[in-house]
Structure formats: C-alpha cells, structure tokens
C-alpha cells in the first residue's frame, strides 16, 4: 500500500566555506519521502539542535569525524516524534533523539535513536541541558576537571549550552566560579541567574587584567571552550596541578591555516611543565557515550529541582537554520541554540 505523500524539507551543504560560513554555503531543498520499509520508522523533527561542531563538518580538513559531503543534508542532532513505524521498538507518538540532520522529516532504522527521558519540562532539553551539551559539561568537569571544594574554575561561553552547565555544577561542588562571556547582558545573566561568583566580558579592553582581579587565588580548573585570547589570559593564572578539560576552541573554528601572531606553543609547554598541569582533549560521545545513564541520573533531578538552570535561544523555522548557525559562531545566540521545526 502506498502511503500519503510527505514532502521533506532539508538543508544541504551547497559549498564549503572559506573562513566564516555564509548563506550561500547552504541550500534548502524539497523531496518526497520514500515509503517505509520493514524495520524503519518515519520521524518528524520537532527541535533541531545547532552546535559549533557543525562548522567542522562543513570543512574537509582532517578531523575526528568525516565531513558532510557537498549536496548532502547538514548533520545535526534533533528531537523528533515517530509518525509511522514498521519497527517493533517504536510506535507513533514516541519522542526520540537522533542525528537526523537539518530536515523536517527523516527515516531511520531505529538503531541509533534514543528515547527522550520522561518527565522533561520541555522536549528541547533533550538536545540541551539533558542532551549532548549537558553531558559534555558534566562528564568533562567531573571526569577530567575533578573539582574540589574551595578551588577556582574559569569557563568561557558561560551563558551558552556547555559553559552554563559547567559553572553551575562546579558551584554545586563548592568551587568559586568565574565565567567569561560576550557583553554586559550575558555577564549579568551568568551572575544573577546562574549564580556564578563573577563574569568577565571578553570584549572589554582590560579583559586580561579584569580576569586576573577576579581570580585572586589563581585558576585550578579552566574548562576550555573557546581558545584565543581567553586562553592567553588564563595561562599565566594557572595554579600548580591545574586541570584543563579541552573541549572546544570556537574562536578558531573559522580560521584558515595557522593563526597569525606570536607562537604561544613554547609558553604553553613551559607552563604545563612547571605547573604540572593536565590538559586533556575529549569528544563527548566517544569518551562518555556509554555513561549516558549515569549523566541523566545525576542531571535530571538537578534540572527539575531548579538547581541547574538553563536558557534556550529558540529560533522558529528550518529555513532560519543557516543564519542562526552563522550567528552562533559570532556569539549572537544567548543560551542553547535550537531551531523549532514543527509543533509536537
């Protein structure tokens, strides 16, 4: 039996960016969805997550994951509802998370889908504070950062998806937490709403000096999300045996080739040696995918009890995804960036 024709809208990679992505690097297409085969489910996207790693997938430079091919659907995680199922593990109405891409509908064999945890105040949290970014923050902090009460932690992109959770969980562990964010509004939110002890604006002319003043006892954990001038300002403030979970360097994602200016590598190596500091890179699903249950068990009550707060920047409509993504790399988002693709 042939099913009703469903038109899928999808955003594909039209060309690879040189430097910052532009709208011309993306193309919106429409296609009819094929009929379901045995074992498959048909999904309708509710919330598409936009994340900085997608910039890496647009480039064919060597990385830990394959690039998106030209003319292929942009990669991305999303919360979806099962609309039709020929898979015994799923029924219409089930809510799932999966790497289903920048599109309104998708077809899956179900193998890599995860159920949205029950009892969430909003489904979009499954790609935010209770999804990939939250897990990155929690596991990277606890496993590599190894926080101890009384220590000082610094994290940039502090109002964003990962940084906001890093700082709040560190506060719950009894640390002094200093955030870094772009602009007065974000800094105010980080201190007043999220409860950080201080937040320094990286756009300030005296940024490095202000960070030093805010970290009177030095820095024991620097949760690295941005690189660039924030890292330069942090380096001289590191305490002996500091830990640096190396999670992201968003300030460098649009860079072409090697950054200009002074070579900081000798200083970095000398600092790591003399401070006996640990710097460890990690990719969340590779390092911690098998510990998702542990993360959900720890984080769900913190979120539902209001001990970990979160902010979402919700943009309406799949066609807005390219512009919203370009803005993410410029710091225009305020909170976890998601695209609302359709209603539940």
Which positions from 105 to 144 touch ligand NDP by CB under 6 A, shown as an x/- string?
----------------------------x--x--------
- Which of 84, 159, 168, 173 binds ligand NDP (CB under 6 A)? It is 159
Strand, coil or helix: 304 = helix
Phi-psi region of 159 (alpha: psi -120 to 50; beta: other; left: phi over 0): alpha
Per-residue x/- track, 47-76, ligand NDP (CB under 6 A) = ----xxx-----------------------
- Contact between 94 and ligand NDP per CB under 6 A: no
Separation CA 3–CA 33 (nearest Å) = 10
26 binds ligand NDP (CB under 6 A): no
Could you give the C-alpha distances from 39 to 93, 117, 241, in angstroms and in order? Answer: 17, 23, 52
Among 42, 336, 339, 341, binds ligand NDP (CB under 6 A): 336
Please name the residue ranges forming H helices in the chain. 53-57, 132-139, 161-172, 184-192, 207-214, 228-234, 265-274, 284-288, 292-304, 321-328
Residues 284-313 that bind ligand NDP (CB under 6 A): 284
Question: Least distance to ligand NDP from the beta carbon of 180, Å?
Answer: 7
* C-beta of residue 86 within 8 angstroms of C-beta of residue 37: yes
**Residues in a beta bridge with 100:** none
Q: Which is nearer to ligand NDP, 107 or 283 (CB)?
A: 283
Applying CB under 6 A, does 282 fall inside the site for ligand NDP?
A: yes
Minimal distance in Å, beta carbon 56 to ligand NDP? 8
CB closer to ligand NDP out of 41 and 158: 158
Q: Which of 6, 255, 268, 283 binds ligand NDP (CB under 6 A)?
A: 283
Q: Are 84 and 94 in contact (CB under 8 A)?
A: no
- CB neighbours of residue 246 within 10 Å: 18
Q: Which of 96, 97, 157, 215 binds ligand NDP (CB under 6 A)?
A: 157
We find the least distance from the C-beta atom of residue 142 to ligand NDP, in angstroms, to be 15
Backbone angles phi, psi at 340, to 5 degrees: -85, 110
Cα torsion angle, 120, 123, 129, 131, sign: positive
Chain residues binding ligand NDP by CB under 6 A are 51-53, 133, 136, 156-157, 159-163, 181-182, 186, 202, 225-226, 228, 230, 247-248, 250-251, 282-284, 328, 331, 333, 336-337
């Amino acid at each position: 039996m042939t099913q009703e024709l469903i038109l899928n809208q999808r955003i594909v990679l039209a060309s690879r960016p040189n430097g910052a992505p532009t709208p011309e690097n993306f193309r919106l297409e429409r296609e009819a969805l094929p009929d379901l085969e045995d074992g498959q489910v048909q999904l309708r996207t509710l919330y598409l997550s936009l994340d900085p790693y997608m910039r890496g997938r647009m480039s064919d430079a060597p990385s830990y994951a394959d690039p998106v091919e030209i003319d292929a659907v942009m990669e991305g995680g999303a919360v979806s509802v099962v609309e039709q199922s020929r898979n015994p593990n799923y029924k219409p109405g089930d809510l799932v998370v999966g790497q289903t891409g920048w599109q309104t509908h998708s077809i899956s064999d179900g193998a890599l889908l995860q159920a949205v945890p029950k009892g969430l105040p909003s489904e979009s949290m499954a790609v935010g504070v209770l999804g990939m970014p939250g897990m990155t923050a929690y596991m990277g902090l606890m496993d590599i950062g190894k926080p101890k009460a009384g220590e000082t932690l610094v994290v940039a992109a502090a109002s964003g998806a990962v940084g906001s959770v890093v700082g709040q969980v560190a506060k719950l562990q009894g640390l002094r937490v200093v955030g870094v964010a772009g602009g007065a509004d974000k800094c105010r939110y980080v201190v007043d709403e999220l409860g950080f002890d201080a937040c320094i604006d990286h756009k300030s002319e005296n940024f490095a000096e202000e960070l030093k003043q805010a970290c009177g006892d030095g820095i024991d954990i620097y949760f690295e999300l941005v690189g660039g001038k924030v890292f330069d300002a942090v380096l001289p403030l590191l305490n002996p045996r500091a830990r640096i979970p190396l999670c992201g360097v968003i300030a460098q994602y649009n860079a072409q080739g090697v950054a200009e200016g002074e070579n900081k590598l000798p200083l970095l190596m000398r600092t790591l040696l003399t401070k006996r500091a640990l710097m460890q890179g990690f990719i969340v699903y590779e390092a911690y995918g098998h510990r998702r249950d542990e993360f959900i068990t720890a984080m769900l009550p913190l979120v539902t009890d209001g001990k970990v707060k979160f902010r979402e920047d919700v943009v309406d409509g799949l066609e807005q995804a390219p512009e919203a993504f370009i803005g993410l790399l410029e710091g225009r988002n305020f909170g976890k960036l998601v695209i609302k693709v359709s209603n539940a």
